[in-house]
Chains A and B, each alone.
Chain A
Amino acid sequence: MAFVLTLPLILLIALLVLYPAFYSLYLATLNKAMTKFVGLGNFTFLFKRETFWMVVKQSCIFAITAVVFKALIGFIVAHFVHNIPGKKQRKWRGMLLVPWVIPPAMSTLAWLWLFDPSYSAFNYTLSFFGVGPIPWLGETFWARFSVILVNVWYGAPFFLIMYLAALKSVPDQLYEAAAIDGANWWQKIWYVTLPMMRNIIAITTLFSLIVTFANFDIVRILTSGGPLDTTHLFATWAFQVGIQSSDIPLGACVSLFMVPILAVAAIFILRDVSKRGNEA
């Protein structure tokens, strides 16, 4: 009976997750014309490409930097919001969630106008202070900074809301006990808040890492991978190689490259979370 009840979900997952996943694995083993099985030939080809390793490096810089900042900002702002009393807190929570609620393709377009090469609103403002113009999307450093900034802006509210929920579940008695023991603000964070939030931090970091590694829209809209490919991520490069250059098997390989790495990270993090759950 239990199996029958879960069957719709199993079918849905098989259709929407397993089939595409296995199909992309199959595609990754074909030659460019998709007429011949080449095994791992596409991967060995990729490993010899300079641009591929540049994309690997950039994806790591992008995902790790963005997740660190999202977590940090989310953590700090969650504390601020947590300390706002009653009704006002609801308003702040609502406002701070706005970036996360707007579809990223739309909000990134607004950012594109702010960074626009010729009419940047940021540069216009900075010009009053005698600064700039800054080539936001035209130089490697600034282009990477811009795409990470937009990702942090978009993703930080997710961390904020998760951390806020976690903060609310920390019993006040623990802080009271810590205060009696003479703990200062920092010690309360280090010895009470962080251990109590460890699981939620691990899970949000993992989820965010996976989603950020797979990001497409922000880079696609802001830089299309430029200048000189220095902002490409796996997804944007896979699109360029697979769809625009009509090499679908190679595009599939690029997009599959992170799967084993993220899968191993997921196993370790989730195992750690469940171990702590059992200890509790």
Chain B
Amino acid sequence: MSRKTLTRRQFVAATAMSSTALIAAPYVRGAYAAGKLSIGFWDHWVPGANDASTALVKEWADKEKVEVSIDYITSNNKKIELTAAAEAQAKSGHDILQMPSWWPHAYSENLEPLNDVMEPLIKQNGEVNGTVKYLAQSGGKWLAVPATPGSQIKGPCSRIDLMKKHAGIDVQEMYPVGSPPKDDNWNMETFLKAAEACQKAGFPFGIGLGETTDSVDTAGAIFQSFGAELVNAKGDVTVKTDEVRQALEYYKKLIAVLPADAPSWDDASNNKWLISGRGAMILNPPSAWAVAKRDAPQVAEQCWTHGMPAGPKGRFAPFLPYFWGVWSFGKNKEAAKSLLVHLSSPAAIEKFVVASGGYDLPAYANMTKFKTWAEEGPPKGTLFSYPDPYHRQTLSIAASPAPPKIAQQIYFQATLTKMALRFAQGEKLETALAWAEDECEGFMRT
């Protein structure tokens, strides 16, 4: 019997080769080593939409032999934010957590960099919009991956009949199905005139002036279309500028024709306004239309979702993306990354869009023309323009381009709507500006 002895040199060479092979191999190999993965997903409001997520995760888990557990966490009463805060504090929790727009930056120190996931995804799916980069990138590092479920544009959802009758605007002609919008005359002035006409006819636009996101997002898009920034990208307070003054003057005129109780509106109020048939337009994702299909079909069949009006500095649409983040303290980061790649494949993205009835929006440039949006109805094609298929708008978020940690505070303290409301309710312009300036200076804390 011969016995082969292993020399020290052979041992070192073999070890080095094995290590290189392990590092260079794609995750797929590691995933077969099984392991567990715990996921916290946003609990979708569309019935059945969670099932699509579960099915996609299961498909991946079966292939990779990973044991997964999914918690669907409601966004009601900020449950997701509370979960994120608790997990970041405890340095323990899910491996993947779906988080709303501002949270990747808020927890940037606790999130695993995802450049190795995002760079191939962008090559595969097309460029992501500026808001996604703004919210999920820090110093060239991707903090999170844009999630299709929950991501939304809060553009106008108009009543076809009321806009035609009272404002003389045919929204279907302006935003046709299958061809680029004819929106050259759709600007802040025509928007204001339409709002005035509809208010006069007894169907005011349903735009909130409260402190919740719908009110803030609308204010953000309008301010941005005037080039009005409270804090610029460098972090300087820029409240007292002509652009901000212009935006406030505009908002004052708009507030005059909004419902009197708009200052107390929350995110459900505008939906109810449209569904009840009392308003000619709201600025919202198509959730209000989807509920109207069930509760007020005669209203739903007159709804048309379309693009925002342009201001002097461009056409801005409020975009609110969700993200999937991987905690740096997670126990199975490589498996988490592998799953995120799977959930961001074109096929998976289309499944999300279909399951949500077109509500969920992918953040990638090549993913805005799925047939779901062209076919959903009634009326057929009502959602065609929802994902901005011809890239006519700058998808933006209120308070940007301020550094995200400052912008988050401007956003959640609703500084924009409060400032506009103060001015509209009789406060002097300079006093409202001074108040906002003081607030923004307070947000500079590090």
Chain A interface residues toward B at CB < 8 A? 31-33, 45, 48-51, 116-119, 133, 135-139, 143, 220, 223-229, 239-240, 243-248, 250
Contacts and interface: CB of A to CB of B under 8 A. Distances in A.
Contacts of B405: 32, 246
Contacts of A250: 445
Contact of B412 (A137, A223, A240): A240
Given A118-B273, A228-B422, A243-B85, A50 B438 contact: yes
B263 A248 contact: no
Nearest to A51: B439
Given A32-B445, A117-B265, A226-B414, 8 more contacts: A33-B109, A118-B259, A118-B278, A228-B421, A229-B418, A243-B78, A246-B85, A246-B106
A50 B435 contact: yes
A97 B418 CA distance: 39
Contacts of A116: 272
A247 B442 CA distance: 12
Nearest to A45: B445
B412 A245 contact: yes
Nearest to B444: A32
A117 B267 CA distance: 12
B413 interface: yes
B156 to A, nearest CB: 19
B266 interface: yes
A contact face: mostly helix, strand, loop, or mixed: loop
Instruction: Specify which of B261, B412, B439 lies most central, judged by the most chain A CB atoms within 10 Å of its CB.
Output: B261
A197 to B, nearest CB: 39
A139 B263 CA distance: 8
Contact of A227 (B85, B109, B210, B272): B210
Contacts of B446: 31-33
A227 B278 contact: no
A243 B100 CA distance: 13
Contact of B263 (A31, A228, A240): A228
A23 B211 CA distance: 30
B255 to A, nearest CB: 12
B212 A138 contact: no
B409 interface: yes
B102 interface: yes
Contacts of A51: 439
Contacts, number: 95
B442 A243 contact: no
Contact of B260 (A135, A245, A247): A135
23 contacts: A33-B446, A117-B264, A117-B265, A118-B261, A118-B269, A135-B261, A138-B260, A138-B262, A138-B263, A143-B264, A220-B77, A224-B211, A224-B266, A226-B211, A227-B209, A227-B210, A227-B263, A228-B263, A243-B82, A244-B78, A244-B412, A246-B408, A250-B445
Return the 4 tightest CB-CB contacts between A and B, nearest first: A138-B264, A137-B264, A117-B261, A246-B106
Contacts of A133: 260-261
Contacts of A243: 78, 81-82, 85
Contact of A118 (B89, B210, B276, B408): B276
B264 A247 contact: no
A215 B405 CA distance: 28
Contacts of B408: 245-246
Interface in B415-438: 418, 421-422, 435, 438
Nearest to B422: A228
A245 B263 CA distance: 21
Contacts of B266: 224
Contact of B445 (A118, A137, A223, A247): A247
Contacts of A220: 77
A45 B444 CA distance: 11
Interface in B259-312: 259-266, 269, 272-273, 276, 278
A102 B442 CA distance: 40
A30 to B, nearest CB: 11
A91 B79 CA distance: 39
Contacts of A32: 405, 445-446
B442 to A, nearest CB: 6
Contacts of A240: 412-413
A247 B446 CA distance: 9
Interface in B72-121: 77-78, 81-82, 85, 89, 102-103, 106-107, 109
A223 B103 CA distance: 24
A244 B103 CA distance: 9
Contacts of A244: 78, 81, 412
Contact of B264 (A31, A50, A226, A248): A226
Contacts of A31: 445-446
Instruction: Specify which of B264, B405, B421, B445 lies most central, judged by the most chain A CB atoms within 10 Å of its CB.
Output: B264
A136 B265 CA distance: 11
Contacts of B89: 248
Given A31-B446, A244-B81, A138 B211 contact: no
Interface in B197-251: 209-212
